């Protein structure tokens, strides 16, 4: 048996949540980085007694398309699976049910699911500093409940997850980061881009057809040289302000 965490976390929030959970299970956890465009994801196969945590951010209430594509390359072979959806305190809508369908398609046996909140990757005024102390306490408790289910060989029942099928329509991206005068052409943004949207020969902008507005290039730039259009961010912030005002809490489905 092995413990594996499969994570798509361009700016680190989803990774924080995943690590809090898996650290309660084992000191030895293999990590598969779904944001690595150089990896061959078809090489990953699992056994029935493995425990696999799949942790993804919610992008506009849906699973990031590139993460879905990469997971679908793998063979679950009835490995036990825990789904974790991380969102910026607005709503995760159809993300969990879509994750459940992807896991089933790959041959995983889903035994539990968690929704968790992390600081918004674009509008940092929402869910600032989360996961915070109360979140961490809940996530650790959820991890222990899931481990109890695993150890007692409880029957795996179909989970009742919030969300709709068919899923909501994928929203247009629109927020494509560009480089400013601080750029020194180090190329880190291009190297780390999960979808290879930045040309190493032209770092000024990104391919708008490839960019998923994950904000990794903005978050990782050591010179703070990449930004998105401030006016567009302000408009987007106002659009979700009401939904983000009330604190959302982590949830466990088991």
Mean pLDDT of 67-90: 97
Which residues are within 8 A (CB) of 195 and not within 5 positions of it... i.e. 6 or more apart? 37, 66, 210, 211, 212, 214
Judge contact between 65 and 19, C-beta under 8 A. no
Q: Which domains does the chain show, CATH number per domain?
A: 3-166+249-253 (3.40.50.360), 178-228 (3.30.70.20)
Cis peptide before 44 (omega within 30 of 0): no
Tokens (6 digits) for 238: 């106002």
Q: What is the pLDDT of residues 172-203, one digit of tens each?
A: 767 999 999 999 999 999 999 999 999 999 99
- Pairs from 123-128 (Cβ < 8 Å, separation ≥ 24): 123/88, 123/233, 123/236, 123/237, 123/240, 123/244, 125/237, 126/88, 126/89, 126/90, 126/237, 126/240, 126/244, 127/88, 127/89, 127/244
Tokens (6 digits) for 99: 């994750």
Average pLDDT, the chain: 95
What's the pLDDT at 154? Answer: 62
Kindly state the percentage of the chain with pLDDT values over 90: 92
Mean pLDDT of 82-86: 98
Cis peptide before 131 (omega within 30 of 0): yes
pLDDT at 158 > cutoff 90: no
H or E segment to which residue 139 belongs? helix 133-151
d(CA 230, CA 212): 17
d(CA 196, CA 57): 19
User: pTM for this structure?
Assistant: 0.95
Mean pLDDT of 203-217: 94
What's the pLDDT at 172? Answer: 74
Of 29, 93, 109, residue with least CA distance to 15: 29
What's the pLDDT at 155? Answer: 65
Mean pLDDT of 90-105: 98
Mean pLDDT of 8-13: 97
């Amino acid at each position: 048996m092995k413990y594996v965490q499969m994570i798509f976390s361009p700016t680190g929030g989803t990774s924080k949540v995943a690590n809090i959970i898996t650290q309660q299970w084992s000191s030895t956890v293999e990590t598969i980085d779904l944001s690595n465009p150089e990896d061959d994801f078809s090489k990953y196969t699992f056994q029935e007694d493995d425990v696999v945590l799949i942790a993804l951010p919610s992008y506009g209430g849906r699973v990031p398309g590139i993460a879905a594509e990469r997971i679908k390359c793998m063979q679950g072979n009835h490995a036990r699976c825990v789904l974790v959806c991380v969102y910026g305190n607005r709503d995760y809508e159809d993300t969990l049910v879509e994750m459940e369908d992807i896991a089933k398609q790959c041959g995983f046996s889903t035994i539990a699911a968690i929704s968790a909140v992390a600081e918004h990757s674009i509008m940092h005024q929402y869910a600032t500093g989360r996961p915070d102390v109360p979140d961490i306490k809940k996530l650790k408790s959820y991890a222990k409940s899931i481990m109890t289910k695993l150890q007692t060989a409880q029957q795996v029942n179909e989970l009742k997850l919030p969300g709709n099928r068919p899923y909501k329509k994928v929203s247009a991206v629109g927020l494509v980061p560009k480089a400013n005068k601080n750029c020194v052409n180090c190329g880190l943004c291009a190297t780390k881009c999960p979808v290879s949207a930045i040309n190493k020969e032209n770092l000024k902008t990104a391919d708008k057809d490839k960019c998923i507005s994950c904000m990794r290039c903005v978050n990782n730039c050591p010179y703070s040289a990449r930004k998105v259009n401030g006016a567009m961010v302000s408009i987007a912030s106002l659009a979700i302000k009401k939904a983000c005002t009330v604190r959302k809490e982590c949830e466990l489905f088991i």
